[in-house]
Amino acid sequence: MEQQTALVYDIKEFGILFKDTAIAAKYANQILMDTLKTYKQDINVDNIVSCTGAPAGDPSTIGLWQWVTETNDGQGSMLTAHSVCRYGSISLTAPACPWNACAPDSADCSACNSDWQLSAATP
């Protein structure tokens, strides 16, 4: 329990970042809960992901991207249960936002909700 408390304190003090960008509370809270749940458990999970149904165009290249949570100091990381299949010209490009900020109509996370980044004016 002490380790969990320290993790919550660190996250509240330093915030949650995605590629050096602060995440708005609406998305950060869900990522915090996901992270706490994962760090509290010592389990192995088999997660089967099927990258099928490539959109029209060039589906010759398929990329499976999985989100990873990492500590601020880079000493700890975990694979999340969140992933996305990307095809063609974007297959080798990482999504530009956290898993829970992908636009609802963007199965490949090529579009993100506009409100996921914490603006400088937001406390």
Q: With respect to residue 50, please indicate whether it lies within any of the assigned structural domains.
A: no
Verdict on whether the full-model pTM lies above 0.75 = no
For residue 85, give both structure tokens.
């299949």
Number of compact structural domains in the chain: 1
Query: Does the CA dihedral 16-65-80-3 come out positive or negative?
Result: negative
Q: With respect to residue 116, please indicate whether it lies within any of the assigned structural domains.
A: no
Q: What is the pLDDT of residues 30-54, one digit of tens each?
A: 888 887 776 666 667 777 888 876 6
Domain span at residue 81?
2-42+58-101
Name the residue with higher pLDDT: 6 or 82: 82
Q: What is the pLDDT of residues 61-120, one digit of tens each?
A: 889 999 988 877 777 788 888 999 998 889 999 999 999 999 999 999 999 999 999 875
Of 22, 13, 32, nearest in space to 121 by CA? 22
Q: With respect to residue 122, please indicate whether it lies within any of the assigned structural domains.
A: no
